Amino acid sequence: MRTAWKIAGKIILLLGGGFIAVFANFAIFGFPFPKEPNLNIFWAALALLVALLGIPLFR
Amino acid sequence: MKGVIVLKRTGICQYLLIVSVLIFSISVQAKEYIEIWPEGWSEVEPLFSTSIYADRFSVEHDDLGTSTSSVDGLYFRELDLTYRLIRNSTIQEEIVLVEKRELDNPVLGLDSQGNRHLVWLERSLGGNSLSYAQISVPYKGHEQTVFLETKNTIQDLAAIQDDSVTHLVWSERDPYFQINYGRLENRELVDVATITDSTDLSVRPNIVLDKEGTPYIIWYETTSVSVQVFYSKKEDNGWSQPFRVGVGSILDIQEGGTIALTARDDQIYAAWAALPRNSNRLFIHLVEIAEGKSSQPIILEPGSRPRFVEGMSDFQLVWQGVGQFGAQIHHGVLREGQIVEKTNLTVGRKMAFRPEVVSQNGFLYIYWLQADPNRGFRLHEINNQFPKTITLWRKIGLDESAPLIHSFFIGVSTFMLSLVYTFMNLGVLIVGGLIFALLQRWDAYKKQPLFYQVLLAAVLLVVISQFPIAVGKPRYFGLIHYALSFFLATLGTYSLMRSVKDKGAFVYAAIFVLWMILFNFFSLLPQNILT
């Protein structure tokens, strides 16, 4: 039971901390407004995926 | 000792219950949504009520103040032509020039002496007429002069003031709708010319003068299959042969749109709304006209009713854009053929339309119409001379009157929404999970540390979610917010799963689901605030 409370507390802390981080981002860079999706994210993620898949093979 | 533990649990439950009741009892004060204010702009001031029947109202500004002309009233045959003088967002003078008539197209111009020149169209059973009046500041009375009377249908009057001379264009049916031009000097219409000679409908003309005072006219010509945009210039021996500069749209004409014109850097620019080939939405089209030739129209932004901002060093436009709750007023700067620094000036869940703009000493004053709860429309004003002070809470999207309560509700509702979006991404989770499981068959990947596994799961999900598998995903709010959400979700998943010793399939499934929930939670925050 104590473990369950600990995990629940951890999740709430995590969500709360992330919540604060996101709003801190709004305070620094201004409130974001919807934009057109950026295709470069896909290419960057794909490049990162290739790199991640490659690392264990060459280690 | 067991009894003590039971009491302690009950104490915690009571405490949570009391806190929840307190929070929810205060919660009614927090707004359901927050109005995100455009930074650097003032409060939106409602000025006066006007009718829904005129396609436009007219606004001009000089050192004596801002003057407007509008047709006001609730019945289209009993409208009042009203002139107003506004200073510091307050109406100083309000004069009804014509009462209870069928009126349209009130156009206001200013001369160098501060006189206001008004022209308008009046319809009656006996015929149609164009009238003129001159008003000084302060108002000392006016005299109405009817300078054109005809049994023909007249519509779409537009005008531009050149000191004491008014250049006019209008569309007159004789027997087909043709574009006419005239010059009003000393209350007399002179130099009248019919520009077009076509069986097509020539409508919605507009006029501009270049720095030499040469008039340029642009209009829509409606054929049976399309709407064309034509242009003509006054030359020494009359008007030039009309030539086509672009394609318009019947949708824009139906909605009362006109073509905006401006003279800038020895060139004429025209902007109008039309449907691009691959869209069924109106987009702003822009052309540059010089030396009798026009450029290819550039398609700018979704919207209609463009207006050029006069008197500013950079090329600025105001237009009626499209937003989540309908028409919105947008302002943007045109640079290298595209709109940059675009700002939505409409605050809250209200539609706004038919913008007009004037510049005053380097500042912008923008006017638009919004529905009036008491019937008709209400004219509103916003400016960037006296910007509204925005508190930090409002800047980050929270209700400044109850920020903590609003944060709590945003947090809870976004968490619930993130569960829904995670369910909608079940396909992505399954595909990602299958690929991940396949990779785990190799020892090279299976033996990697937990952080690698979490990062690999995260990147897999990002890549797969770009394919049309998910039923829905959070809107994109810029690279910084996206990257932050990714980082927080990855770090959060790792920190939660760190204490788990077992590394079986169930644990990896939990990583996928947990990451998706966290990512959706952080990316949905601004979307939840705006809706």
| pLDDT for the residue B116 | 96
Closest-CA residue of A relative to B500 is: A7
Instruction: Tell me which H or E stretch contains B399.
Output: none
Helix segments in B263-402, DSSP class H: 392-395
Q: Are B521 and A18 in contact (CB < 8 Å)? A: yes
| pLDDT for the residue B375 | 77
Q: Which of B529, B472, B320, B34 is nearest to A32 (CA)?
A: B529
Q: What angle do CA A8, A9, A15 make, to 5 degrees?
A: 90
Residues of A in contact with B445 (CB under 8 A): 53, 56
Locate tokens 């822009």: which residue?
Answer: B286
Residue B531 has pLDDT above 80, yes or no: no
Residue B505 has pLDDT above 60, yes or no: yes
| pLDDT for the residue B261 | 95
pLDDT in tens, B222-268: 988 899 999 999 998 899 999 999 999 999 998 889 999 999 888 89
Q: What is the number of CB-based contacts under 8 A between chain A and chain B?
A: 107
| Total Cβ atoms within 10 A of residue B530 | 18
B67 three-state secondary structure: strand
| pLDDT for the residue B13 | 55
Residue B488 has pLDDT above 70, yes or no: yes
| pLDDT for the residue B29 | 41
Residues of A in contact with B518 (CB under 8 A): 14-15, 18
Residues of A in contact with B526 (CB under 8 A): 26, 31-33
What percentage of chain B reaches a pLDDT higher than 90?
A: 61
Residue B370 has pLDDT above 50, yes or no: yes
pLDDT in tens, B13-40: 555 555 555 444 444 344 444 556 677 8
Q: Which of B110, B102, B178, B117 is nearest to B147 (CA)?
A: B117
The reply to whether B15 touches chain A by the CB within 8 Å rule is no
pLDDT in tens, B110-164: 999 999 999 999 999 889 999 999 999 999 999 999 999 999 999 999 999 999 9
Q: Which of B146, B153, B207, B161 is nearest to B178 (CA)?
A: B153
Banded model confidence at residue B11, pLDDT cuts 50, 70, 90: low
Which residue in B459, B497, B518 has the most chain A C-beta atoms within 10 A of its own C-beta, making it the best mutation to test that interface?
B459
The reply to whether B5 touches chain A by the CB within 8 Å rule is no
Six-digit token pair at B89? 């967002």
| pLDDT for the residue B36 | 61
| pLDDT for the residue A59 | 66
Residues of A in contact with B528 (CB under 8 A): none
Determine contact, residues A24/B483, Cβ cutoff 8 Å: no
Residues of B in contact with A56 (CB under 8 A): 444-445, 448, 452
Residues of B in contact with A29 (CB under 8 A): 480
Q: Are B395 and A45 in contact (CB < 8 Å)? A: no
Q: Which of A10, A30, A38 sits opposite B476 (nearest CB)?
A: A38
Which residue in A1, A11, A23, A58 has the most chain B C-beta atoms within 10 A of its own C-beta, making it the best mutation to test that interface?
A23
